[in-house]
Structure 1
Amino acid sequence: MDSITQAALGASIAGLVAGKTFGRSALLTGALLGTLPDLDVLIDYGTAVANFTQHRGFSHSLFVLAPVSLLLATLLWRWKPEPGFQRWLLLTALVLLTHPLLDTFTTYGTQLFWPTGRPLAISSIFIIDPLYTLPLLAGCIVFLLRPPAQRAVAAGLVLSSVYLGWSFVAQQVITERVQPALAKAGLADAELLVQPMPFNTVLWRATAITDRQRVEIVTGFLDDDTPLTLEYFPRQPELARAVSQLPEARRLEWFTRGFLDYRASNGKITATDIRLGIPGAHPFTFVLASERGGKLIPGNGERAPRPTMNTGALPLLWARATGAIPVLCLSSLAVPAPGEEC
C-alpha cells in the first residue's frame, strides 16, 4: 500500500497498544515504524529490473522482520522502560509485521518469505484505496484531538479490516462471474488475474493470458445484466522466447508470474508488467535487449519512460464504476461507438 496508508496503520496500532502511556507521541512512533520496511526503495540494486523486483524483498520478509521487531523492542525498552518490554515487543511486532501482510493484498508482489518462495499477491485491493485508509486517518485525528481516544483508533482498525475482508470476498464474486465467459471463449485453463480498478472495489479488471493472446474484462457490482465484454490483445511468444535466457527476462517472468507484454520497437525489445496500471498506462516497462544486424544484444534492464497519465480518463473510469457507462474499451480508454465493439 502507499506510504500514507502504512503510516496510518502503524500509528493506529501504536496508539491502541501504547497510547495511554505515550499519548500523541505513540502515533509518531507507530507511523515511523510503519514506513520502515519501505526504506528499501533507497537501495540501488544495479539495474531498474533489480530495483523493481527487489522492492518488497528482504525488508518485507517475516523471517527478517520478526527478529528486527525483537531487536527494536529491546532497544526501545532500554531507552524508555515504560510501558515494559512485552508492550514494546507487541507494538513493534504488530506494526512491522502488518506492513507486509497488508502489502500482500495488493498486486505488486510481496516476498513475504524471502529468501525462499516467490512473491505473493492476493490482488484484492488497489495500492491506493481511500475507503481503506480514511477510517485509519479518522481514528488518528480523533486521537490527536482528544488523546488517547483508543475507541476511535480501534474503530478505525476494525472498519479498515472489514473493508479489506470485503475486498477479498468481492474478488471471489467477480472471479466466479468472469469464469463462465472465459470458458465459453475457450480460456478456461488460461492464467487468470482478478483485481480492482484504481481506488475502489466496485469496478474490477480480469486479465486472462495464454501464450498467444491476452483477454481483458471490466465488470463491476453496479453493472446491469449486459453480457460481459471480452477485449483481446495479441501477445508475441516469439519475442518472449528470444529473450527467455536473459537474466533480466527470467527475473521479470518470476516476479510477475508471466503477466508480461513483449514488444519490439525501434530495434529494442521491451517487457511490460501488465498487472499494474491499465492498458495504455502500465507504469513498468523495461528494455531487455536490442536487435542489430539480426543479432540480439542484451540490454541493461533500463526502465522505459513512464507513459503520460491520461487525466481525461478519470471521469470515464468513474462513470464505468457507477454503471453509467456499460462498456469501456481498455485499449483506447474510450466508449465504443454505437453498434461497435472494443
Structure 2
Amino acid sequence: MDSITQAVLGAGIQGALLGRSQGRKALLYGGLLATLPDMDVLVRYADPVSQMTFHRGFSHSVFVLSALAIILTWLIRKKWPEAPYSGRRLFLTLWLVLVTHPVLDAFTVYGTQLFWPLARIPESWSAVFIIDPFYTVPLALAVLATMVVGCTPRARVALTAALVFSTAYLGVSLVGRWHAEDRVEQELRQQGVQPTALLATPMPFNTLLWRVLAKDDAGNYYEAVSGWLDNGPPEMLRLPLNLPVAEALNGVPLHDRLRWFTNDWLRYDALDNKLVVTDLRMGVAGYYTFRFVMAERGNDAIWHAVTPYRWPSERGSWGQMQMMLARIFDSGVPLPLADWAAYATQPVLAGE
C-alpha cells in the first residue's frame, strides 16, 4: 500500500507495544522501520518489466525480515542492555512492524513475494485498493492523537483499538472479494460460460464496488462490475485476450517472468507494429496501469523481441471517478465499460 499507510501502521504497532517505555519516540521508530522494505525501489533495473516484477521481492520476504528483526533485537539489547522491556517484547515489536508491511502489501492486487526466495507466484490477495481511507484514516488519527497527548495508557488503548479495527477491515474486505467473484461466476454460468479463472479487485478508495476479471476457455476475458449494494446482476463486457499474438514471445525470459508475476492475467495487442502486453489486474476497462511493448514487427513482417518499454496508458478522469463512486449506490446506471475499453486499442497512444 502507500507509504503513509505503512508508516502509520508501523507507528501504531510500536506505540502500542513499546510506547510505555519509549514514549512518543516509539511512533517515530515504528514509522521509519515500517517503510524500510520499500527501499528496494532504489534498485534500478534495465527495463520496466524487471522493475515491476522485482519490486516487493527480497526486501518483502518474511524470511529476510524475520532475520533482520533478530539482528536488530540483538544489536539494540547489546547497546541498551538496561532498556525497560524484555528482549522478547522488543523482538515481537520489531518483527510485527517489519512483517506487517509486506503482509499488508499482499492484500493489494500488485503481487508481493512474501516467501522469497521460494519460487511461488507472488501473493496477491486483492482485498483492498492501494489507497484506502477507511483503512488508513482511523490508524492515522490514533497515531496523531498519541503524538499530541503522548503514549498514555488511554492513547495506547486507542492505538490498539485502531489496529484491531484495521485488521477486521481487511477480513471484511476479503469477504467482499469472495462475494463479488461468486456473483460474477454465477452470472457467467447462467449465460452458459464456464469461467476458468476469476479475480476481483476493489474499485478505487473503497471496498463496496468491485471490478471482477474472468477468463473462459475460448481466449476471452470479461470485465465485470459488482457491488455490495447492487439490486441486479453484475454488468460485464467480453473482450479478447488475443492469445495467438503471444506466440511471438514464446521463450522470451522477461515475458515468462511477467506471466509468472501476474499469474498470467495478460492481454496482447498488436498496435502500430508493436506487440503490447497489458497487465489486466490494475486499472479499469481500457485504462490499465501497466502496459509494455515487448516486441516490434520489422519490414520482414516478423515479430522481434525487444527490451521492454512502457506503452503510455490513457489516464482516467475525475468524471470517471464520479461515475464509479455514484455506481456504488445506484446499480441502475451501469458504467460505460464498452466505451472505456476502446481506449486500450487506440494506436494514437503510442510513443516511447
**TM-score with structure 1 setting the length:** 0.93
Structure 1 equivalent of residue 172 of structure 2: 166
* Counterpart Cα distance in 2 of 1:76 and 1:331: 58
- Partner amino acid, structure 2, of 1:59: S
SS class of match (1:282): strand
* Counterpart Cα distance in 1 of 2:210 and 2:57: 27
- Structure 1 residues 306, 32: CA separation in 2 closer, same or farther (over 3 Å shift)? farther
Q: CA deviation at 1:2?
A: 1.0
Residue pair 1:319, 1:325 contacting (<8 A) in 2 also = no
The yes-or-no answer on 1:138 pairing with 2:141 is: yes
Superposed, 1:46-125 pairs within 5 Å as 46-81=46-81, 82=83, 83-116=85-118, 117-125=120-128
SS class of match (2:51): helix
> Aligned to 2:213, which of 207, 221, 237?
207
Residue pair 1:271, 1:288 contacting (<8 A) in 2 also = yes
Residue pair 2:278, 2:291 contacting (<8 A) in 1 also = yes
- Partner amino acid, structure 1, of 2:43: I
Q: CA deviation at 1:52?
A: 0.3
SS class of match (1:107): coil
Q: CA deviation at 1:330?
A: 2.5
* Counterpart Cα distance in 1 of 2:189 and 2:331: 28
- Partner amino acid, structure 2, of 1:132: Y
Q: CA deviation at 1:115?
A: 1.2
Residue pair 2:195, 2:215 contacting (<8 A) in 1 also = no
* Counterpart Cα distance in 1 of 2:117 and 2:310: 25
The yes-or-no answer on 1:45 pairing with 2:45 is: yes
- Structure 1 residues 230, 310: CA separation in 2 closer, same or farther (over 3 Å shift)? same
Q: CA deviation at 1:324?
A: 6.0
Structure 2 equivalent of residue 310 of structure 1: 317
Q: CA deviation at 1:333?
A: 4.5
- Partner amino acid, structure 2, of 1:264: A
Identity %: 41
* Counterpart Cα distance in 1 of 2:55 and 2:209: 28
SS class of match (2:307): coil
* Counterpart Cα distance in 2 of 1:189 and 1:64: 37
* Counterpart Cα distance in 1 of 2:72 and 2:258: 34
**TM-score with structure 2 setting the length:** 0.90
Structure 2 equivalent of residue 230 of structure 1: 236
The yes-or-no answer on 1:247 pairing with 2:249 is: no
- Structure 1 residues 17, 239: CA separation in 2 closer, same or farther (over 3 Å shift)? same
Residue pair 1:285, 1:303 contacting (<8 A) in 2 also = yes
Residue pair 1:187, 1:208 contacting (<8 A) in 2 also = no
The yes-or-no answer on 1:267 pairing with 2:273 is: yes
Q: CA deviation at 1:179?
A: 1.5
* Counterpart Cα distance in 2 of 1:324 and 1:242: 41
Residue pair 2:14, 2:27 contacting (<8 A) in 1 also = yes
Structure 2 equivalent of residue 337 of structure 1: none
Q: CA deviation at 1:163?
A: 0.7
SS class of match (2:318): coil
Aligned length: 333
Q: CA deviation at 1:189?
A: 3.6
Q: CA deviation at 1:325?
A: 4.7
Taking only aligned residues, the RMSD between alpha carbons, in angstroms, comes to 1.6
Structure 1 equivalent of residue 262 of structure 2: 256
* Counterpart Cα distance in 1 of 2:340 and 2:285: 8
The yes-or-no answer on 1:182 pairing with 2:185 is: no
> Aligned to 2:202, which of 196, 209, 212?
196
* Counterpart Cα distance in 2 of 1:84 and 1:180: 53
Structure 2 runs not aligned, ≥5 long: 342-352
Residue pair 2:185, 2:195 contacting (<8 A) in 1 also = no
User: Can you list the C-alpha shifts for 1:306-328, whole angstroms capped at 9, x where unaligned?
Assistant: 43332221110111112265311
Comparing 294-303 with 92-101, which one deviates more in the overlay? 294-303
* Counterpart Cα distance in 2 of 1:52 and 1:112: 15
Structure 2 equivalent of residue 36 of structure 1: 36
> Aligned to 1:216, which of 198, 207, 223?
223
